[in-house]
Every structure is written in structure tokens, then in C-alpha cells.
Amino acid sequence: MPLAPTTALRIFLMLATLPEVRRLVKGAVAWWSGKKIAVIGPTAAGKDSFIARLQQREIPRRHTGSPLREKVKSFDVKLALTRTHTVDITCKGVVNVGGEVEFRDSPRGWRSVCEGADVIFYVMTVQDLLKKRFVRGRVRQDLDWLQTVLPHLGDRVLVHVLVNKIDLEIASHTHYGALAKELAADLRALDATVKRVLEPYEHHYTGATLISMKNKSIFTIAIHRAFAAVYSAFHEQDVVPQPVLAPALEV
Ligand SMILES: Nc1nc2c(ncn2[C@@H]2O[C@H](COP(=O)(O)OP(=O)(O)OP(=O)(O)O)[C@@H](O)[C@H]2O)c(=O)[nH]1
Ligand SMILES: [Mg+2]
């Protein structure tokens, strides 16, 4: 259903005032252009729906589990940041994969999907967050898996967590801030656990963003936050001085 003009305008204005968006407009456009993304996460978390939203398609209404590998043709993501700023990002090399544990552990499964990716989006749900499945349960197992593969994926790869289906908790995007506040402690606990589990590769983690693939207005707010968070983390990585390694002694 198309947005009412007033709603659309309100979203534009809100986005234009977000500091994350201003930062994104500044430098991230070039950085994101042509990036390879991988989308992983448990069964039915919303991976297909995320790819569909990025392609400006409707999300699948019914869940039909994705196969082990399904190549998605590279596509352009158009983000309308403000009335005058539209960002075109090309997502290349997206491979869609099902969330089953067997697919995660198969050599042609999640690992090969993540190989060569610049950014890995891990999609979980708000239920996973509330039920603390990152402490014990499927999300925690996935984080353990990620910790074992990260050293093989290159120094630059970034990981971002999308906490999906928040439309089950709020009726409208206008409550996004209130929900974020309400879930702040849970999100901090998630952050702390992810960093601890991923050690010593925790610097690849760029944070978690509440999102809904189903609700377009929530998606619009959330996707900018997520893209900006990934970009700023990358930027910080660039300016953080790297430890100087002592030259190896020659014998
Ligand atoms: N309420 C709600 N439902 C959602 C959301 N995102 C996805 N869904 C629903 O969740 C179900 C699963 O979505 P998919 O995108 O197919 O999930 P998937 O992660 O690709 O699943 P697998 O490929 O089996 O691992 C579908 O019925 C979607 O309509 C959301 O943000 N909110
Ligand atoms: Mg799928």
C-alpha cells in the first residue's frame, strides 16, 4: 500500500535529521558501492525478506525454506536518504542460503556464502533477543560457528546483526525509538555476548539494529541505521592505529 504523502514526508524529515544519515551521506555512498554482502541466520528469521526489501520487492508472505545455495543476481539498492539525496548501492555476489543447521555446517553452505563477502548480515528475530537465544540456543550456536570461520574470511569482513520482526512488538515506525529504549538492556547484553564469543575477532562486529522486513516504514529507518553503523565501524577500523609488529629477526 503506498504511503500517505504526509507519512512519507515525515519519514523524509526524520531521516534527514538523523546524525547517522548525515554521516552516511558524507562518505558512505562510495564505500558501499559494489560491496558484496552475505545474509545468514536461522530458519525463517527473514533472510529472503531482507533481500526482497533491498530489491524493493514485497517480502514472501509464506515461509518456504531456501535451498542450500541460490545465486541472487547482483542488484542495485536505492536508498532515499532525504528528498534530494538518493544513494545507489550495488550489491554483488549475494548468495541466498537456507537457515537450517545442516546448511550452516555444509562446506557449500554458510561458509561459502560468506567467503569473499565485505559485509555479513546475520538476521535473527526480536523473539531470539527476548528469549536470550544468544546466551543459550540457536543464535549462540551460530555465533560459535561464526567465531570459527571468521579467521578464514579475511581481515576486512564486517558483521552486522539485524534483529528482525519488531513489527510484532510495535504498531508503527513512530514507536521505533521507544522500543529501542525499552530493549536497550537486551541489546547491550547481545552486544556484550557477541563480542565475547567472537573474541579475538570481535572487531569485525559492527553492532545490532532493530528492524522489520515486513513494515516498510520501520525498514526504512532501520536500514539507514544499519548501513551507517557498518560504514562508521569500517571507518573507525581505518583510523584506529594498528599494533606495530616487531620485525622478525633474521638469522
Ligand atoms: N511479522 C514479520 N514477519 C516476517 C518479517 N520478515 C519475514 N517475515 C516472515 O517470516 C517468514 C520467513 O521469512 P523468510 O524471509 O522466508 O525467512 P528465511 O530466513 O529466508 O528462511 P529460510 O530460507 O528457511 O532460512 C515469512 O513468512 C515472512 O513473511 C518481519 O519483519 N515481520
Ligand atoms: Mg530463505
- CATH architecture classification, 5-235: 3-Layer(aba) Sandwich (3.40)
For the entire predicted model, the pTM comes to 0.82
Residue nearest to ligand 1 atom 8, measured at CA: 46
pLDDT number for residue 210: 98
Higher pLDDT among residues 18 and 122, named by residue: 122
pLDDT computed for residue 180 by the predictor: 97
Tens of pLDDT, residues 230-246: 877 776 654 433 333 33
Q: Where are the domains of the chain?
A: 5-235
User: What residues are neighbours of ligand 2 (ion), with CB under 5 Å?
Assistant: 47-48, 66
pLDDT band at 19 (very low <50, low <70, confident <90, very high): low
What pLDDT shows up at residue 50?
92
Q: 96-147: per-residue pLDDT in tens? A: 677 778 888 887 788 888 888 889 999 999 999 999 999 999 999 999 999 9
Candidate from 57, 59, 161 with most ligand 1 atoms within 8 A of CB, to mutate:
59
Q: What cell was used for 18?
A: 538523523
Q: Exposed e or buried b for every residue in 25-63, given b needs 16+ CB within 10 A?
A: beebbebbeebbbbbbbbebbbbbbbbebbeeeebeeee
- Residue 141: its pLDDT value, please? 95
Which string of DSSP letters, residue by residue, matches 13-50?
HHHHH-HHHHHIIIIIHHHHTT-BEEEE-STTSSHHHH
Is the model's pLDDT at 247 over the cut of 80?
Answer: no
Write the pLDDT tens digit of every residue in 177-211: 999 999 999 999 999 999 999 999 999 999 999 99
Q: Is a pLDDT exceeding 70 seen at residue 229?
A: yes
Lowest-confidence region among 22-26, 68-72, 211-215, 231-235? 22-26
Cβ neighbour number for residue 250 with a 10 Å cutoff: 4
For ligand 1, atom 1, which residue shows the shortest CA distance?
Answer: 165
Ligand minimally distant from the alpha carbon of residue 50: 1
